[in-house]
Amino acid sequence: MENVIELRELTKTYGARRGLSGLNLEVRAGEVFGYLGPNGAGKSTTIRLLLDLIRPTGGTVTVLGLDPRADGVALRRRVGYLAGDFVCDGRQNVRGYLRFLAALRGGVPQERIDDLADRLGLDQTTKVKKLSKGNRQKFGLVQAFMHTPELLILDEPSSGLDPLVQQTFLDLVAEAAGNGQTVFMSSHIMSEVEAVADRVGIIRDGLLVALDTVDNLRAGTVRDIEVTFESPVPAGAFSSLPGADRLSLDEAGTTLTGQVAGSPDALIKALALHTVTGLRATEPALEELFQSYYETAEDAPRTVPAQAV
């Protein structure tokens, strides 16, 4: 199977509010696909349509060659799903609940469950109803990964996880991809998707505004910078740099501020000619990245064909 997910002119409206607008997208077998966008962009709506948790207003959805509405039971056997608002409740402990879910999926070796729980730091003796937000998320990851599904659909999967567990989660995604599984992962954290994804789709206001490889997307990243110098720097010291109009020196000539798009190599070489006493470079919020990434293409079509990359 070449494509695991195929969306054609997918549209979803909620009364007067539009959730998705003619979305065209293909996710290939064996790839990790990152689905980026700010909260409310349409990420969760897309995922719920993939699993027939909600119904489209228009267009078609095919997952693993199946129609989610007509073949829902057969499809869910082959999918691991973690909802963005994952909820689990019950009087039993984590081990008992996971064994119950494993039985529903045809059985999962206890060793597999124990290994995932240990790696994520999930205590299986804890009562499910007493799990904290972070531990509920760990529980959700175990139940999604444990049966080694053909397709993993993960909605904001690292929400509530501490940095060490986030890295373990990324390791699990990389291992799944190495095992030939396909991963569709939504997030508003660009660095998380960059770490594991083969391709990235960016959605904004229900529209797919970019579809590209991680390397190409990273090349367009805009960073906010602030540099301080030991002594005043000539006013035109950085005027020949690409994107120099985004940079400015203060009146004293000792502080450079602004933005750098793409590789910072040229800026670093220019800075090396002066004595730098401080350097700060931060990636802007995702919403700012969208604005800078597309500010030169506001008049271009706002949908990206599925075959673009």
| In the chain, domain spans | 3-213, 222-282
Compute CA 280 distance to the chain's CA centroid, rounded to the nearest angstrom: 25
The whole-number pLDDT of residue 305 equals 44
3-state secondary structure of 30: coil
Look at domain 222-282 and name its CATH class. alpha beta
Rounded CA gap, 102 and 228, in Å? 57
Using an 8 Å Cβ cutoff, are 133 and 160 in contact? yes
Location of structure tokens 């950085």? 238
The whole-number pLDDT of residue 222 equals 77
Contacts of 293 (CB under 8 A, 6+ apart): 202, 210, 220, 222
Residues 235, 239, 244: CA angle, nearest 5 degrees: 120
3-213: CATH superfamily: P-loop containing nucleotide triphosphate hydrolases (3.40.50.300)
Pick from 78, 34, 105, 74: nearest CA to 309: 34
Q: What is the pLDDT along the chain (309 residues), one digit of tens a residue?
A: 589 999 999 999 987 777 898 999 999 999 999 998 877 889 999 999 999 999 999 999 999 999 999 999 899 889 999 998 888 877 899 999 999 999 988 899 999 999 999 999 999 999 999 999 999 999 999 999 999 999 999 999 988 888 899 999 999 999 999 999 999 999 877 778 888 999 999 888 888 888 888 777 766 677 889 999 999 999 899 999 988 888 999 999 999 999 888 778 899 999 999 999 999 988 655 555 555 555 544 444 444 544 444
pTM of the model: 0.78
The whole-number pLDDT of residue 197 equals 92
Q: Are strands 255-261 and 222-229 parallel, antiparallel or unpaired?
A: antiparallel
The whole-number pLDDT of residue 285 equals 55
Fold: same for 3-213 and 222-282: no
The whole-number pLDDT of residue 212 equals 86
